[in-house]
């Protein structure tokens, strides 16, 4: 469904993504794991097209020159030159790192903004669905986004992304700074979303353990390069992966 | 597929890297590399009055320097302390009126009135702006924009300080050479002084206030005090330019609170490149003479002027100086990936 080949991103002369091939089939959950500075967020920005915006902004301000190379194919079409808004229209929706919810809008308004691209009927249906999978949101729908707890904000961010009717949802570190219980809730919700909306999901995370059970296919990034990939069982049984991303020390 | 792709890369020049540390002192080549840009600016500014034809253009250079002082103060406040201050005209007016009073009422000579008005004016401005210092961003900008308008209307309505006629009969400088070299000297002094300041410890705190004032507060520093110090420095520059201006025109009036003194420095900062401190001076050297040249077009000059500004902001918002610095320190080449 989504396939990136030979993705390279340079921040000035620093190589952030080194010749990465990544793909995601329909109805699949793909995990991308890596430490800080491995290039996870850069990958997400590049896939969603936000990188074009960052590139332009830096160019205008005379900052770093960002070079993006490689090819991204989505449903057989090359979308590497499309703007983020055009990609969103085609169903590639990013749920950004650190949530980035609209702090001065209420929960309901946040979700409504997310549903800008959807038809009113669709939006209504999805709104109900969002409240169904995240019942906690319905109780606080009048509250300002800025006053929500971390977990509620993350639910809201995912809900907002869902409102845009994704075909492929990019979740960038959805578990950042959340309690284990909240992490489990979100992971369960992610799987439900995939099963019920029939969409593909790419999720990045540093600590693989909580996400791993729901992942169909995984990539391991290290310093901008994809060092390993495979289906869940393959990765799970690899001793290097186990020690690096599960915290399991093999003796 | 990516075999034949090429990428343009920017590399620091070898000499830039070599002259980064103290070892630059060991070779003339590296020393020259460091000193030449500064020397070009200083010598260029110093010989400008000598090479320009006639008194008119010499006066333009003086006015340029006055605007440059204001622009440097704006750049300092906006890009190093995070206070976008649109009250440049307030500083000019305060300095100007204080000079006029000191000169006409107390009979002090320009050599005394300028430093006195600078210190008094800066204290007064800081004191008046003190209540607004907790404000940030656009709120501070709006409030600081109100100050010059407020002062102008108060003087007009209460008919104090000469009312709409202003204060006349102020001493001029001894001659035009004193006038020019004094203003140019002050500008260069403040330029390099502020550059030094922002690299000192207090400069680090200033930048910290800009980036994250909560973290600065958490480090046990009172940000209002630091903001007040920064405003004092910026206001001193503004008041000094106002004081010089009054002695040049031999007149002090409410037009010193005019919006020009707030807006043109900002435009110059945008064109020159914000956050470089030299940029605003370069911006003024471009903008003020252009606005004089366009005087022939009458009111149409505002249109040209705005077009130039819009062009710069849309196509080169990094500014002349940032671009120049990059070209000086780095070279570009194509590399194969």
CB atoms closer than 10 angstroms to residue B43? 10
Q: Pick from B263, B267, B261: which is nearest to B320 by CA? A: B267
Domain contains A133: no
Q: Which residue of A has its CA nearest to B324?
A: A62
| Cβ contacts of B319 on chain A, cutoff 8 Å | 62
pLDDT at site A251: 54
Domain containing A44 equals: 2-99+165-245
A5 CB neighbours in chain B (<8 A) are: 1
B223-261 CB burial, b ≥16 within 10 A, e <16: beebbbebbbbbbbbbbbbbbbbbbbbebbbbbbbbebb
**What residue segments make up the domains of chain B, in order of their start?**
54-262
Which residues of chain B have a CB within 8 Å of the CB of A6? Answer: 1-2
Residue A110 falls inside a structural domain: no
Q: CB A8 to CB B318 under 8 A?
A: no
Q: In this complex, do B1 and A62 lie within 8 Å of one another by their Cβ atoms?
A: no
CATH of the domain at A174: 3.40.50.300
Q: What is the pLDDT of residue A246?
A: 78
In the predicted structure, residue A137 carries a pLDDT above the cut 70: yes
What whole-number distance in Å separates Cα of residue A29 and Cα of residue A214?
Answer: 7
Q: Considering only the beta carbons, identify the residue of A5, A62, A70 that sits closest to B322.
A: A62
Closest-CA residue in chain A for B335?
Answer: A13
Which chain B residues have a beta carbon less than 8 Å from that of A13?
9-11
pLDDT for B1 equals 44
Structure tokens at A58: 């830096």
pLDDT attached to residue B293: 85
Q: Is A84 a member of any domain?
A: yes
Q: A40 lies in a domain? A: yes
Tokens 């850069």 — which residue?
Answer: A42
Phi, psi of B334 (to 5 degrees): -85, 135
Q: Is residue A173 part of a domain?
A: yes
Contact yes or no for B7 and A60 at CB 8 A: no
| Contact residues, chain A, for B337 at CB < 8 Å | 8, 69
Q: Which of B2, B7, B326 sits opposite A10 (nearest CB)?
A: B7
Kindly state whether residue A69 falls inside one of the protein's structural domains.
yes
Question: How do residues A43-96 score in pLDDT, each as one tens digit?
Answer: 999 999 999 999 998 888 778 889 999 999 999 999 999 999 999 999 999 999
**pLDDT computed for residue A215 by the predictor:** 93
Q: Is residue A147 part of a domain?
A: no
> What is the full per-residue pLDDT of chain B (337 aa) written as tens digits?
445 578 888 888 888 888 888 877 888 888 888 899 999 999 999 999 888 888 888 889 999 999 999 999 999 999 999 999 988 999 999 999 999 999 888 888 888 899 999 999 999 999 999 999 888 888 999 999 999 998 888 888 887 887 777 788 788 887 888 889 999 999 999 999 999 999 999 999 999 999 988 899 999 999 999 999 999 999 999 999 999 999 888 888 888 888 888 888 988 998 898 888 999 999 999 888 888 888 888 778 778 878 888 888 888 778 888 888 888 888 888 888 7
Total count of domains within chain A: 1
Q: Do B10 and A69 touch (CB under 8 A)?
A: no
């Amino acid at each position: 469904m989504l396939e990136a080949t030979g993705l390279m991103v340079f921040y000035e002369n620093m190589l952030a993504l080194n010749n990465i091939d990544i793909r995601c089939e329909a109805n699949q959950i793909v995990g991308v794991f890596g430490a800080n500075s491995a290039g996870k967020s850069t990958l997400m920005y590049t896939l969603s097209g936000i990188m074009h915006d960052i590139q332009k902004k830096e160019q205008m301000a005379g900052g770093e020159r960002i070079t993006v190379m490689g090819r991204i194919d989505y449903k057989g079409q090359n979308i590497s030159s499309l703007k983020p808004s055009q990609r969103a229209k085609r169903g590639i929706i990013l749920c950004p790192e650190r949530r980035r919810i609209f702090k001065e809008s209420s929960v309901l308004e946040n979700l409504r903004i997310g549903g800008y691209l959807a038809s009113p009927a669709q939006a209504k249906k999805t709104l109900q669905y969002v409240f169904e999978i995240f019942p906690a949101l319905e109780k606080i729908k009048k509250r300002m986004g800025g006053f929500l707890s971390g977990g509620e904000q993350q639910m809201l961010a995912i809900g907002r992304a869902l409102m845009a009717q994704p075909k492929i949802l990019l979740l960038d570190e959805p578990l950042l700074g959340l309690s284990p219980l909240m992490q489990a809730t979100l992971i369960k919700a992610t799987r439900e979303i995939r099963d019920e909306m029939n969409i593909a999901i790419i999720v990045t995370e540093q600590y693989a353990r909580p996400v791993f059970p729901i992942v169909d296919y995984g990539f391991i990034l290290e310093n901008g390069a994809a060092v390993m990939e495979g289906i869940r069982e393959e990765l799970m049984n690899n001793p290097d992966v186990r020690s690096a991303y599960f915290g399991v020390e093999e003796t | 597929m990516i075999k034949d792709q090429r990428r343009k890369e920017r590399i620091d020049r070898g000499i830039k890297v070599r002259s980064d540390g103290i070892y630059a002192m060991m070779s003339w080549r590296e020393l020259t590399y460091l000193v030449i840009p500064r020397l070009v600016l200083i010598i260029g500014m110093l010989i400008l009055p000598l090479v320009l034809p006639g008194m008119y253009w010499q006066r333009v250079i003086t006015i340029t320097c006055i605007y440059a002082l204001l622009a440097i103060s704006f750049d300092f406040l906006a890009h190093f302390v995070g206070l976008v201050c649109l009250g440049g005209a307030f500083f000019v007016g305060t300095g100007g009126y204080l000079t006029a009073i000191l000169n006409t009422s107390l009979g002090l000579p320009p050599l005394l009135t300028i430093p006195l008005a600078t210190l008094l004016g800066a204290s007064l401005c800081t004191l008046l702006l003190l209540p607004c210092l907790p404000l940030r961003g656009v709120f501070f900008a709006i409030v600081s924009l109100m100050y010059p308008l407020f002062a102008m209307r108060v003087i007009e309505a209460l008919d104090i300080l000469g009312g709409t006629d202003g204060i006349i009969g102020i001493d001029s400088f001894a001659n035009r050479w004193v006038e020019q070299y004094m203003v140019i000297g002050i500008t260069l002094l403040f330029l390099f002084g502020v550059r030094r300041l922002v690299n000192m410890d207090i400069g680090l705190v200033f930048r910290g206030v800009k980036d994250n004032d909560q973290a600065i507060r958490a480090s046990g520093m009172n940000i209002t005090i630091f903001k007040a110090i920064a405003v004092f420095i910026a206001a001193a520059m503004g008041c000094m330019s106002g004081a010089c201006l009054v002695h040049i025109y031999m007149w002090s009036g409410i037009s010193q609170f005019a919006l020009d003194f707030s807006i043109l420095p900002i435009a110059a900062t945008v064109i020159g490149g914000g956050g470089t401190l030299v940029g605003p001076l370069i911006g003024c050297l471009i903008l003020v003479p252009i606005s004089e040249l366009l005087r022939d077009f009458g009111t149409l000059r505002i249109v040209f002027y705005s077009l130039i500004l819009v062009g710069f902001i849309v196509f080169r918002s990094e500014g002349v100086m940032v671009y120049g610095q990059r070209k000086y320190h780095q070279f570009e080449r194509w590399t194969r990936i």
